[in-house]
């Protein structure tokens, strides 16, 4: 679906145009066209390929979707794939943003992505001195918008981790904590898969051999790289903390199981003593002292009670009960 198609010249918006008029504007000097599509149909991709002379391999990747984040250079044009990550109802939704960039055009296609880029277009149009840099600045603005949307996701994951950490030492919550930690770990991995490949790709736009189209904007892409580095460091810190939390949680489970074992062993010892006394007096030998004494039964109960009480006291004092 076509979102908008706008022509710009010397950093100024000329007008909204139809797709049929694209070829007229891309041939003008100091002019470029910015087209935004959402969930593009094959026919729309074919039309854009014809209008902008897009490389067939890049179009094929955009048509199939589900690509790894990357930046590929085809002659004097670039093909950029990024993952958009949104936190909706506690779950991470991963979308894809494909961007074709040439000297006189920008074509952005978003798939499975709820948030649009109208704010990015408005920002660029409010900075005509920046928009004069051409399609490369639009590419930076789009990449910067996608990367900046990772920060709230990182903050949400950190908050979720802090909530789990507060409950780690709560009795009876260990299994629930483990489940939540593993779910959080999966979310972090999803975000990592979006960030790590993009870090490697963005490095091509500001270091070493920079594509000619980005020669005047490489400092801006270095800023994107800096944001990605910060996000990646936060992700690594969250992953390390999750690993530590899992180990602590498992240790807490072992400690609780050990406490239960101590308690069971203590009660077993108490009942074993009582069983031993009763077993001896229950053998009915005639020469057992006080066998026919009328106070023998109360005395036997008293001895059993005193010994068991003493054992209970000792176990309680040592923390086993």
Exposed/middle/buried for 252, CB within 10 Å: 0-12, 13-18, 19+? middle
Instruction: Give the pLDDT of residue 104.
Output: 92
Domain 257-317: top CATH class = mainly alpha
Domain 1-127 shares a fold with domain 257-317? no
Residue labelled with tokens 């990182």 = 154
Sign of CA dihedral 211, 216, 222, 223: negative
Cβ distance 181 to 173 under 8 Å? no
Instruction: Give the pLDDT of residue 308.
Output: 74
What would the pLDDT profile of 11-64 be if each residue is shown by its tens digit? Answer: 899 989 998 888 888 888 889 999 999 998 999 999 999 999 999 999 999 988
Residue labelled with tokens 């006394």 = 277
What is the mean pLDDT, run by run of 10 residues, along the chain of 321 residues? 89 89 86 92 91 92 89 92 89 92 92 86 90 91 94 94 86 82 92 93 85 88 94 94 87 72 74 71 60 66 76 71 65
What is the CATH code of the structural domain delimited by 1-127? 3.30.460.20
- For the chain, the domains span 1-127, 257-317
Cβ distance 81 to 69 under 8 Å? yes
Residues above pLDDT 90, as percent of the chain: 42
In whole angstroms, give the CA distance from residue 226 to residue 228.
Answer: 5
* Helix (H), strand (E) counts: the chain: 10, 7
Instruction: Give the pLDDT of residue 283.
Output: 59
Exposed/middle/buried for 247, CB within 10 Å: 0-12, 13-18, 19+? exposed
Cβ distance 210 to 204 under 8 Å? yes
Instruction: Give the pLDDT of residue 145.
Output: 94
The model carries a pTM of 0.79
Q: Is 95 left (phi over 0), alpha (psi -120 to 50) or beta?
A: beta
């Amino acid at each position: 679906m076509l979102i908008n198609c706008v022509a710009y010249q010397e950093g100024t918006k000329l007008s909204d145009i139809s797709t049929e008029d694209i070829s007229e504007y891309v041939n003008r000097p100091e002019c470029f066209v910015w087209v935004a599509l959402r969930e593009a149909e094959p026919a729309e991709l074919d039309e854009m390929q014809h209008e902008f002379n897009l490389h067939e391999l890049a179009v094929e990747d955009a048509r199939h979707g589900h690509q790894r984040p990357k930046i590929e250079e085809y002659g004097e044009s670039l093909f950029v794939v990024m993952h958009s990550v949104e936190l909706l109802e506690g779950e991470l939704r991963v979308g894809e943003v494909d961007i074709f960039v040439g000297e006189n055009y920008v074509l952005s296609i978003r798939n499975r992505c709820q948030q649009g880029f109208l704010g990015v277009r408005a920002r660029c149009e409010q900075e005509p001195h920046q928009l004069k840099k051409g399609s490369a600045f639009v590419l930076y603005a789009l990449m910067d918008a996608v990367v900046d949307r990772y920060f709230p996701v990182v903050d949400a994951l950190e908050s979720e981790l802090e909530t789990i950490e507060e409950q780690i030492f709560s009795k009876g919550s260990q299994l629930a904590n483990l489940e939540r930690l593993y779910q959080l770990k999966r979310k972090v991995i999803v975000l990592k898969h979006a960030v790590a490949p993009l870090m490697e790709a963005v490095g091509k736009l500001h270091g070493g051999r920079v594509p000619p189209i980005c020669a005047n904007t490489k400092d801006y892409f270095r800023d994107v790289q800096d944001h990605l580095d910060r996000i990646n460091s936060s992700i690594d810190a969250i992953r390390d903390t999750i690993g530590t939390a899992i180990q602590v949680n498992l240790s807490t489970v072992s400690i609780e199981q050990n406490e239960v074992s101590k308690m069971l062993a203590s009660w077993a010892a108490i009942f074993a003593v009582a069983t031993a006394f009763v077993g001896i007096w229950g053998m009915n030998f005639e020469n057992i002292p006080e066998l026919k004494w009328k106070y023998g039964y109360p005395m036997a109960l008293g001895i059993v009670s005193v010994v068991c009480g003493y054992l209970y006291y000792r176990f309680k004092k040592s923390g086993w009960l």
